[in-house]
Structure 1
């Protein structure tokens, strides 16, 4: 019965009948109410699907917009990452959260959620419990952000560009940024995705720098899917002029990416169980929530005041 419900959820998410926020909510209900029949497989599948979906969505992007948003976003993300990391480490010390766990939560908030934690975990020699708690904290906050951010954006009358920029700077995971942007509008989606990927690029120098400081021999995982996203944007910008308009190749790939993202959000939701919430504990969750609120509020204020713009 549980397996059937799981597969029905995937089919609904892939069908286009439900949107990303509803897919996430459906996954959360499943994760909290049922025992996941494919917990390990679901994690691997969601990681692959997210990267493939982002690449496919690159076929719906304009190269000039990608380059412009990426150049501006790289500067803004550098500032936000520095502030978030510094504040996160300070909060971890105040709350006496374990050093490794505190760093993972801080880096997950500052850079790109679960991807940053997965990349930094081996470098910091984190054990399974530290990884689980950090990922659990970030995933819970991701779920809240995906459902909450569009309402805040509409209430404050943010433009699509402003909302996309805010989502990219304040939401942890790429999947939730893309989901929130897709709900808000096409320009919000394009800006949010591009700036978020620029933010994700910081995994590489931070992971390499941390490995050198700690003299770790762990292999740094490079986010190659970002390069493929850029290649997709190049193809979408220049190749269509040689393809008959009757062949909707790139628009079809873009729709496939959106469907894949909706499935990813359902899978992420199913991974948040009662056990996950128990594992997180109070102090790491307080650190994650406090850091996220400060980052989200400060970036929203700066964007709304016109201090940050594309």
Structure 2
């Protein structure tokens, strides 16, 4: 009897210890995410946003203290599974009903913007001898919807966490600079507020950047800007399916045969959440706007926590050697995209 207890006890202790480490990793990412969101509310840092602040904190922690190996399982759980949950909930921000009834013209122009952003980024990245995988991630983030798009396609492209975190950080930085520049030049632009709103929605990177740039032009401009931006978000799913097909074809042509590309099932959740938000929750009497606001805040928090896990994988030495050229390429592409979209908005 005693021997049987002795056999069970070590396993039980190891299991409890593993559980505590897992919970510690989740708690750690949540804590850093909360600090990042608090920092993002400070004037000046609010232009960066919570994602960028959280990533910067995680990168700083990694450089000062190293990667917290003991709690790695919990951190990886957040950066992988809770990230996918956040992207699914992100679908609630996409109002398909509004797009179907008012935005088909914008959706088509948004497709042109996405194609231009991706191919210009790949071409210019190749010219500057930048990392091809990083250039592709930045092109998708620039063209579609910033960090959320990068997070969605990373598993399909099999990008490592280092590249994913660096590209999210670059998107946040460049998008913030451009959104502030838009507000500064808006008073001297010879265009209406509605034209300015559409231009902002078609060319800026994150939804937060679009809101920041278009809000000073008034509520009508903000509404049109968000509509144009949602049209770009809509293309996330067909783009992901196209990337799956491309990846399989590419792997088929390589030595060693086909490499299985896992279907991103969370994108189906993204579509379901979009339909739910557009046709059920939006018309439900029992669901108040405050509830939807809480869900949106929860989604932002999960996405911020996931970025902490990615930021912990960033090695600044690699950023100095591999990140400057893609950053230069992205700045040039963003300028060209702003110029071209100004005339098709």
Give the TM-score taking structure 2 as reference length: 0.64
Which residue of 52, 57, 75 maps to 2:108?
Answer: 75
Q: Which residue of structure 2 lines up, in the alignment, with residue 258 of structure 1?
A: 297
Aligned partners of 1:118, 1:3: CA distance in 2, in Å?
21
- Report the Cα offset of residue 277 of structure 1: 2.8
Relative distance call for 1:294 and 1:77 in structure 2 (3 A) is: farther
- Report the Cα offset of residue 9 of structure 1: 4.4
State yes or no: 1:192 paired with 2:223.
no
Q: CA RMSD in A?
A: 3.9
Which residue of 210, 219, 238 maps to 2:261?
Answer: 219
Relative distance call for 1:218 and 1:106 in structure 2 (3 A) is: farther
Q: Which residue of structure 2 lines up, in the alignment, with residue 151 of structure 1?
A: 180
Aligned partners of 1:41, 1:148: CA distance in 2, in Å?
32
Aligned partners of 1:95, 1:235: CA distance in 2, in Å?
48
Aligned partners of 2:98, 2:270: CA distance in 1, in Å?
16
State yes or no: 1:63 paired with 2:90.
no
Q: How does 1:32-47 map to 2 (within 5 A)?
A: 32-35=59-62, 37=68, 39-44=75-80, 46-47=82-83
Q: Which residue of structure 2 lines up, in the alignment, with residue 299 of structure 1?
A: 337
Q: Which residue of structure 1 lines up, in the alignment, with residue 7 of structure 2?
A: none
Q: Which residue of structure 1 lines up, in the alignment, with residue 280 of structure 2?
A: 235
Relative distance call for 1:90 and 1:266 in structure 2 (3 A) is: same
- Report the Cα offset of residue 301 of structure 1: 1.2
Q: Which residue of structure 2 lines up, in the alignment, with residue 124 of structure 1?
A: none
Q: Which residue of structure 1 lines up, in the alignment, with residue 197 of structure 2?
A: 160
Aligned residues: 281
**Aligned 8 A contact 1:150 1:183 in 2:** yes
**Aligned 8 A contact 2:162 2:311 in 1:** no
Structure 1 SS opposite 2:261: coil
Aligned partners of 2:118, 2:56: CA distance in 1, in Å?
32
Q: How does 1:262-273 map to 2 (within 5 A)?
A: 262-265=301-304, 267-268=306-307, 271-273=310-312
State yes or no: 1:31 paired with 2:58.
yes
Aligned partners of 1:10, 1:137: CA distance in 2, in Å?
17
- Report the Cα offset of residue 50 of structure 1: 2.6
For structure 2, the 5+ residue unaligned runs are 1-23, 187-192, 216-221, 253-257
- Report the Cα offset of residue 99 of structure 1: 5.7
**Aligned 8 A contact 1:105 1:117 in 2:** no
Relative distance call for 1:101 and 1:218 in structure 2 (3 A) is: farther
Q: How does 1:194-209 map to 2 (within 5 A)?
A: 194-209=231-246
Structure 1 SS opposite 2:311: coil
1:13-49 CA-to-partner distances (Å, cap 9, x unmatched) read: 789x946844235414421332465542331255134
Q: Which residue of structure 1 lines up, in the alignment, with residue 19 of structure 2?
A: none
Aligned partners of 1:46, 1:147: CA distance in 2, in Å?
25
**Aligned 8 A contact 2:151 2:164 in 1:** yes
Aligned partners of 2:34, 2:269: CA distance in 1, in Å?
25
Relative distance call for 1:207 and 1:275 in structure 2 (3 A) is: closer
1:122-176 CA-to-partner distances (Å, cap 9, x unmatched) read: xxxxxxxx62443243122122034323312211327333222212xxx3xxxxx
Give the TM-score taking structure 1 as reference length: 0.70
**Aligned 8 A contact 1:117 1:134 in 2:** no
Structure 2 SS opposite 1:156: helix
Relative distance call for 1:73 and 1:131 in structure 2 (3 A) is: farther
- Report the Cα offset of residue 104 of structure 1: 5.5
